[in-house]
Structure 1
Amino acid sequence: MTDLHNEFANSRFFNQTRMDRRSADALVGLAAGIVADGTVNHSEARFLHSWLEANLAHLDDPVVNLLYRRLNLMLADGVFDSDEASELLGMLHSFAGLSIAKPLPTEHTFTAPNDLPLCDPAPEVICAARSFVFTGVMALGPRKECQQIVLDRGGEIASGVSKKVHYLVIGSVGNEQWRHSSYGLKIMKAVELREAGVPIAIIGENHWQTAVLP
C-alpha cells in the first residue's frame, strides 16, 4: 500500500530545518494566491508546474514531488478538466494550510484528515455493481486512476453524493479542518444521508486500498 505519510514526515522542505526557507514560503504564498478565488484553471496549473520545475524540483523532496507528479499527470494530455481542477484545488488548500471558511495561513504542512465520520466498524468493500464517490486528495494517485480501479472491478462512479451511492471514499491526504475543506460538503451530505437511514458507507482511503488492491 502506498504510504505517503512517512514521506511527509521525512520532508526536508516543511520540517523545522528547511533547506530553503524563502522558496518554501514563496510556494506556500503561491498556492494561497491561486486558491484565493476558490478556483484553479489550466493556465494557473501550467504556471505552477513550470514554477516548481524551475525552482524546487531539484530538491528531490517528497512533498514537492507529490505536487509536481500530480501536476505532470493532470497536464499530460493537454486537457485540464473540472475533476482535475477540483483535486488540485483541494491539494493546494491543504498545501497552504488554508480553509475555505477562513483563508489565512496556518501551519505550512500536509496533515491527514482527523475526526472524520468514518463507518466503525469499517464495512466490507465490494466494487461490482456498487457506486462510488471519491473526495479529497488520494495518496495512491490522481482521482481518475482511483476511479478507474473501481471501474475495472465492475463498479460505477457517481457524479455526487446521493441515496444511490454505496461508498464515499475520503482521500488520506487532506486538511485536518475537513468541515471547511473543498471536500467537506460531500462528507457532510453523506453523514446526513447515513443518519437518515440511507445505507451509504463512509470509508477512508486506506481501508479502500486494502480491499481493492492485491
Structure 2
Amino acid sequence: MDLHKEFVNSRFFHNARIDRRAADALVGIAAGLTADGMVDTCEAVFLKQWLETHVAHLNDPVINLLYSRLSCMLKDNVLDEDESFELLNLLHGFAGLPISQPTAGQPAAVAPNDLPFDAPAPNMVWEGRVFVFTGVMAFGPRKNCQALVEERGGVIGCGVSKKVHYLVVGSIGNEQWRHSTYGTKIMKAVELRNAGASIAIVGEDHWQRLLLG
C-alpha cells in the first residue's frame, strides 16, 4: 500500500505515466505482431493475455474495442482466416500503419463470385436475430456494419453456430471463392444450412438493400 502517497506523487511512477507507458508499449507490440503480414492464433492469445495483464484497467475506448473484438474472435480458441485478416487491420490501425494489402502470392481481393447464397434471398428480420459478418465489407468497417444491425435490435454473434440467423458475406471477397474454396465461416454455415438449421447466407448487396430501403 502507498500509505504516504509516494507512488501517487512520484514524478516517474505515478499511474498516468504507467498508463501511458503501457499504451505506448501496445503500439509497439501491434507493430511487431503485424510485421510479417499476418496474425496467427498463438499471437492473438498472447495479445489478449498481455492486454488483460497490462492495460485491462485503462478506460480507453480504442483499447477496449480491440480487447472486445479479440475476446470475441478467440471465444472458440481459434483465429480463422477472416478473423486473422480483421485483427491484422485492427492492429495496423492501432499502430498507425497502412491497411493490409495482399502481397505477391497471396489471394487478391475481388468481388466474390459463385458463393452459396440463399436463393431466393430471404427477407431479413432484425429484432432479436443473430448476425455474423465475414469477408471485407464495401459499406465500411465491420464494426460500423455491426452497429447498424444492433441499432435495429439485432444481435452480433461471435461465430457461426445453430444460433445464428444470418451470415452476411462482404462484397469484397477472396479470389479463392471463385473456385468454391470458401472461408471457414461460410463452409460451416453451408453445413448447418444443409443439416436443416435456420441460417441464411446472404451477400452484402442484399443486406444493404434491406437495411437502407
Contact 2:40–2:84 (8 Å) recurs in 1: no
Structure 2 residue 40 is matched with structure 1 residue 34: no
Using the alignment, how far apart are the partners of 2:116 and 2:100 within structure 1? 19
Query: Any residues of structure 2 matched to 1:37-186 within 5 Å, and which?
Result: 77-78=62-63, 80-81=66-67, 82=70, 86-89=85-88, 95-96=101-102, 105=105, 109-178=108-177, 184-186=183-185
Any conservation in 2 of the 1:40–1:85 contact (CA below 8 Å)? no
- 1:14-29 equivalences under 5 Å are none
Q: Deviations over 1:11-45 (max 9, x none)?
A: xxxxxxxxxxxxxxxxxxxx89312757877xxxx
Give TM-score scaled by structure 2 length: 0.56
Gap runs ≥5 in structure 2: 1-33, 45-60, 74-82, 93-98
Instruction: Give the structure 2 partner of residue 196 of structure 1.
Output: 195
Once the two structures are superposed, residues 181-209 of structure 1 have per-residue CA deviations (whole angstroms, 9 ceiling, x without a partner) of 6xx11100000011111121000111101
Q: Aligned partners of 1:86 and 1:40: how far apart in 2?
A: 13
Indicate conservation of the 8 Å contact 1:40/1:88, yes or no. no
Identity %: 52
The 3 A distance-change label for structure 1 pair 166 and 40 is: same
Query: Cα RMSD (Å) of the superposition?
Result: 3.3
Instruction: Structure 1 unaligned segments of length 5 or more: list them.
Output: 1-30, 42-75, 98-103
- CA apart distance, 1:163: 1.0
1:192 is paired with a residue whose SS is: helix
1:118 and 1:32 map into 2 onto residues whose CA distance is 35
> 1:193 is aligned with what amino acid?
L
Q: Could you say if the C-alpha distance between residues 156 and 37 of structure 1 is closer, same or farther in structure 2, counting changes exceeding 3 Å?
A: closer
The aligned amino acid for 1:136 is G
**Residue identity matched to 2:210:** A
Distance (whole Å) between structure 1 residues aligned to residue 39 and residue 153 of structure 2: 39
Q: Is the 8 A contact 1:94 1:110 kept in 2?
A: no
User: Which amino acid in the other structure matches residue 187 of structure 2?
Assistant: M
Whole-angstrom distance in 1 between the partners of 2:201 and 2:38? 27
Residues 170 and 180 (structure 1), Cα distance of their counterparts in 2 relative to 1, 3 Å cut: same
Bigger Rg, structure 1 or 2: 2
